[in-house]
Amino acid sequence: MEEIREPVLSPEQREAFDRGVREFNEGYYFECHDTLEDLWSGLRGESRDFFQGLIQVAVGCYHLGNGNRAGAASMFGRALRRFEKYPARYFGFELERQRGQLREWLERLAHGEPFGALTSSERPRWRFEGPASAAP
């Protein structure tokens, strides 16, 4: 498997990315979508699908919070497919953990299980630790 390089963001792009992560972690999924979509629209290259996958996770959570289980499942499935080509850790994200979480959510949705995590302290969070290639 060919190694996929991590993106290099400008300071403005980095600020937008950090804001999008904060918005997701605070449960502002629609705002996260808008923030990351603005960033994504200016990106080129092999990292573009990664950022689109993040946007799709945020949209899925937004749909789930509004009771649109089919829309959530669609977005989670699309995000999972986008993330598959990336390594276990990419741009500071533990993608293997994220992929496992998406599979679990899809399974729960497919079986009609209750999905109340978005309104509780168990709300999904992105554990972003900074890109592995970031210079100090």
Domain harbouring 36, CATH code: 1.10.3450.10
Spans of the chain, pLDDT less than 50: 131-136
pLDDT computed for residue 116 by the predictor: 63
Helix (H) or strand (E) holding 12: helix 11-25
Residue 2 forms part of a structural domain = no
SS3 108: helix
pLDDT computed for residue 4 by the predictor: 85
Contact 65, 23 (CB under 8 A): no
Mean pLDDT, all residues of the chain: 86
Residue 123 forms part of a structural domain = no
Residue 42 forms part of a structural domain = yes
Residue 38 forms part of a structural domain = yes
Contact 104, 47 (CB under 8 A): no
The secondary structure of the chain in percent helix, strand, coil, rounded to multiples of 5, reads 60, 5, 40
Residue 125 forms part of a structural domain = no
Contact 57, 79 (CB under 8 A): yes
Domain residue limits at 56: 11-118
pLDDT computed for residue 18 by the predictor: 92
Residue 130 forms part of a structural domain = no
Contact 55, 82 (CB under 8 A): no
The domain total for the chain is: 1
Convert the pLDDT of each residue in 92-122 to its tens digit. 888 999 999 899 999 989 998 877 655 555 5
Residue 5 forms part of a structural domain = no
Cβ within 8 Å of residue 101, ≥6 positions away: 124
The pair of three-digit structure tokens given for residue 38, joined into one six-digit string: 């603005």
pLDDT computed for residue 119 by the predictor: 53
pLDDT computed for residue 136 by the predictor: 30
